[in-house]
Amino acid sequence: MPKFKLEYIWLDGYTPVPNLRSKTQLKDFDSFPTLEQLPNWGFDGSSTQQAEGRSSDCVLKPVALYPDGSRNNGILVMCEVMMPDGVTPHPSNSRATILDDADTWFGFEQEYFLWEDGAPLGFPKGGYPGPQGPYYCGVGFSNVGDVARQIVEEHLELCLEAGINHEGINAEVAKGQWEFQIFGKGSKTCADQIWVARYILNRLCESYGVDVNYHCKPLGKDLDWNGSGMHCNFSTKYMRETGGKEYFEALMAAFGKNLDEHIAVYGPDNHMRLTGLHETQSIDKFTYGIADRGSSVRVPHSFINAGYKGYLEDRRPNSQGDPYQIASRVLKTISEVPLP
């Protein structure tokens, strides 16, 4: 009977951005266990800003399983944090109460910087490389450096072994900046995979002496270096199968009306990134446009060509955003628009 190494993963209580935490539990199972077979577990919430010292136990409730390709008989166990009663979600649990619908599909484009000694991986010590231009989807040592692609490739393999629905990878506009895309049907299915893919990347980078910097503008807003987003592509069953110009315009009006509510969950420091000067509209305006990367929502050509059918891209969510909250907010606004 193999001993399985169960890596229980959770989000801590730090704000505005939770950190990923994890610890291992060993359990005997005849074969790869199901979610129902995994017990709840506990941790010391006073060490993660989730409890006071005197009564510090929090509960970990497994919610999704992924094979862990970095270990023999390893499993990554995504968890929700619950109160000591085991059934009440902890205030930091941003997943428990979100809107979810298996027919609403999400594709997140997670951008990030690989970071070493206080600067993007590949920046010369104490200085800057040549200006942006050649790095986006670039190839060759002077464009991507020596280890970045190895990290990115290993990350891809580990995600695929975990069953994560990775859809693509590219080198981004700034040196040391990369992106991966993950697609999932339903808020929780997709967002769980983003969090686990982030976890796998952070852990993988340890052995390279590299960190992952998810801040949306890590080089500051005054320098001409790209920021990091997490574009949220979405489609409902109605958008895919029926659609139409009238419904689309009503949907965009609802997005405009809920501007503040969206920005509130689209990631911290987004004013540094959404300036209106570069690839996205400024933070206090809502616009949409066909193939327009300077708008808040980009309408792909495919959407128009199909007769206002398909998916849309909200470009405002940033790289540090919580995909649970982002997906749920998109769904909330969609739910406010009556179907014709």
Least separation in angstroms between residue 105's CB and ligand ADP is 4
Look at phi and psi of residue 269 and say left if phi exceeds 0, alpha if psi is from -120 to 50, else beta.
left
Whichever of 22 and 236 has its CB closer to ligand ADP, that residue is 236
Side chain identity at 142, as an amino acid letter? S
130 vs 168 by CB, closer to ligand ADP? 168
Binding piece for ligand ADP, criterion CB under 6 A, among 59-67, 101-109, 154-162, 327-335: 101-109
Annotate each residue in 164-203 with x if it binds Mn ion (CB under 5 A) or - if it does not, as one string.
Answer: ---------------x------------------------
If one asks whether residue 307 binds ligand ADP (CB under 6 A), the answer comes out as no
Q: Which of residues 108-127 bind Mn ion (CB under 5 A)?
A: 109
Q: Applying CB under 6 A, what is the total number of residues that bind ligand ADP?
A: 14
Site for Mn ion in 210-239 (CB under 5 A): 231
Instruction: Provide the mask over 312-331, with x wherever binding to ligand ADP is found by CB under 6 A and - wherever it is not.
Output: -x------------------
Contact 46, 52 (CB under 8 A): yes
Q: Is 111 in the site for ligand ADP (CB under 6 A)?
A: no
Quick one: which of 133, 330, 116, 76 has its CA closest to 218?
116
Q: Which does 61 bind (CB under 5 to 8 A by kind): Mn ion, ligand ADP, none?
A: none
Closest CA to 11 of 209, 191, 261: 191
* Whole-angstrom distance, CA of residue 6 vs CA of residue 38: 9
CA nearest 101: which of 223, 190, 201? 190
Measuring CA to CA, which residue among 262, 4, 216, 190 is closest to residue 112? 216
Residue from 107, 129, 176, 323 touching ligand ADP (CB under 6 A): that is 107
Near ligand ADP by CB under 6 A: residue from 118, 130, 168, 276: 168
Read off the tokens for 208. 């390279």
CA dihedral 217, 18, 109, 328 (to 10 degrees): -120
In the structure encoding, which two tokens stand for residue 40, read together? 């709840």
Which amino acid does the sequence have at 231? H
Query: Considering only 56-64, 129-137, 138-146, 229-237, which stretch makes contact with ligand ADP by CB under 6 A?
Result: 229-237
CB 316 within 8 A of CB 280: yes
Tell me the two tokens of residue 59. Answer: 């509960």
Residue 308 binds ligand ADP, judged by CB under 6 A: no
Asked if 105 touches ligand ADP (CB under 6 A), the answer is yes
Where on the chain is the footprint of ligand ADP (CB under 6 A)?
Answer: 105-107, 109, 167-168, 181, 183, 231, 233-235, 311, 313
